[in-house]
Structure 1
């Protein structure tokens, strides 16, 4: 059952006028503010009049929710968003959720209470709670990196990226292959990227492929790769991200495994570091900066009430380098 402003006031032990003053940015004591905020977050309360006030008075601020800041993909996307917003006289607020889904939900409501005009959401997974939050706040939300039929989305072509990498691997003669992916809760990386790769492998036939799962953290990819290399001797390991591939390379060097003479390695992402290391890493380049620019353009159009296609798919580009040997 949805809570009313009277319910919030009663639970906080304050007058309705105090809650109203808080919701409209007025002055309340620190203790009262904390109590009201805690109750509002607990019940995901958004007043019915809030969406109306947003429509009546737009701001020039766009909220951006990101799962982590220590990521090349995230930082490049944010730079693109920020540059394009500034060029259009908008400002960006950033909420870092540290890959905590509840913090993502809270950030959506928090941004709404701060009266941002729109929200750009970089999420690994879209749940019913995300969709409810978007419906509750009544302001434009653009999903970046994942696709959902109920949200305007901007995605990289992960299926094509996986397919191009799979074709490259088999064209280089590799048949004993290890693919290290991530959780399928992340549809883009965990599902679509792997599906594209599988499609290319199936077209080739005669391949011995083993699929493993790790996290996005390089430290955990190192542990996974070390266990794999103790059990088997693939000719190539395909990491679902550049971080995973770099973890594979690190543990290989530690175990005196030469790349690419003893083991070939590939990744996805096109991080800058991949062309500085030796050997340079074969990867699929994702245009994160450009994605940020397009995301900013789309959210501005949505804020203005203009039409935006439901899903925009950005191209990717395979970059063959030194880390893959031809068999």
Structure 2
């Protein structure tokens, strides 16, 4: 079984250094190149791209740090990053933090020790410890999903998306609104989406709105929503994520409340499941895979000394489905 460069060199009849130079993109004569390629093809040899990157003058491994793996947004973003990096002849190394900030900081330093060319961080928040790590690394860092004035960022247009969703809800006649958000430590989801929605509310005078907070977990939304309904009796529940909205729909089902006849519900994200549930969910669709591709392209540009914008916005779309009732049309 062929396992090493030495084996390829022996079968090709060339020096080990020649094979190494070929695998790392160095200059090799055409006849020698064909001999090495023939042996690699016949043996099915797979080069250790990570080891190659460590030895190469120009590393080709991009470290990608994620807060969780069991997330639609994360998985789609990773798909976009991976596909684009492979097209550009780079590799992705993934590290999961399980939403532990201390572990996230450790992973940033660990990636740097592994000689990655740059780091793409799917961030939930940026702390002083993050900024200190970025300053020490001396390699390009790119944020996805959050922004900071000192770091290149690819973000979803949370503010404008929330504003547009708010206008849609108001146009459907809703004036008693509950907004179920998350901690403001998460600037994108906890702050920008709330701020964009508030801007829409400023355009009408007769609204009664209450803001609540939960986590990103479906189970916690299931527990939180019944008390909101009982205490406030909103006509619409605006959820800061699709997972929260899914929990809300489950909670209404358990209480015998009909969506959207008794309560309208909206989300943010555009997860695939929101289209197949009943009623299907009105939500903001973010194009996570596209954002991942943009992040990968931007990182490679940075590595090649090219200029990119400090903040890049990815696109979104308001997806109007069955979970929002038109109160105006019903004359309520």
Bin the TM-score by the shorter chain. 0.7 to 0.9
Deviation at 1:58, TM superposition (A): 2.2
Structure number with larger C-alpha Rg: 2
User: What's the secondary structure of 2:173's corresponding residue?
Assistant: coil
2:143 maps to which residue?
Answer: 143
The reply to whether residue 313 of structure 1 matches residue 313 of structure 2 is: yes
| Alignment partner, residue 65 of structure 1 | 65
Counterpart residue number, 1:203? 203
Aligned residue runs from structure 1 range 1-327, under 5 A: 57-327=57-327
**For 1:204, what is the secondary structure of its paired residue?**
coil
Q: What is the rounded CA distance, in whole Å, between the counterparts of 2:205 and 2:245 in structure 1? A: 24
Structure 2 contact 290–314 (Cα < 8 Å) conserved: no
Aligned residues: 275
Q: Give the TM-score taking structure 1 as reference length.
A: 0.82
Deviation at 1:231, TM superposition (A): 1.5
Question: Offset of 1:233 from its aligned partner?
Answer: 1.1
User: How far 1:263 sits from its partner (Å)?
Assistant: 0.6
Displacement, 1:204? Answer: 1.5
Q: Matched residues in 1 for 2:183 and 2:76: separation?
A: 23
Could you list the runs of 4 or more consecutive aligned residues of structure 1 that deviate by over 2 angstroms after TM superposition?
A: none
Alpha-carbon RMSD across the aligned residues, in angstroms, is 1.4
Tell me the CA shift for residue 227 of structure 1: 1.9
Secondary structure of the equivalent of 1:212? strand
Aligned-residue offset at 1:230: 2.4
Which consecutive unaligned segments of at least 5 residues does structure 1 have? 1-53
Which stretch of the first structure deviates more once superposed, 222-231 or 129-138? 222-231
Task: Give CA-to-partner distance per residue, 1:155-203, whole Å, 9 cap, x none.
Answer: 0110001101110110000001100000000000100110000010111
Q: TM-score, normalised by structure 2?
A: 0.81
CA shift digits 1:111-169 (9 cap, x unpaired): 00000001001111111110110111100000110111100011011000110111011
Q: Distance in 1 between matches of 2:189 and 2:57?
A: 39
Aligned counterparts of 1:98 and 1:171: Cα–Cα separation in 2: 40
Distance (whole Å) between structure 2 residues aligned to residue 204 and residue 245 of structure 1: 25
**Structure 2: tracts of 5 or more residues without a match:** 1-53, 328-332
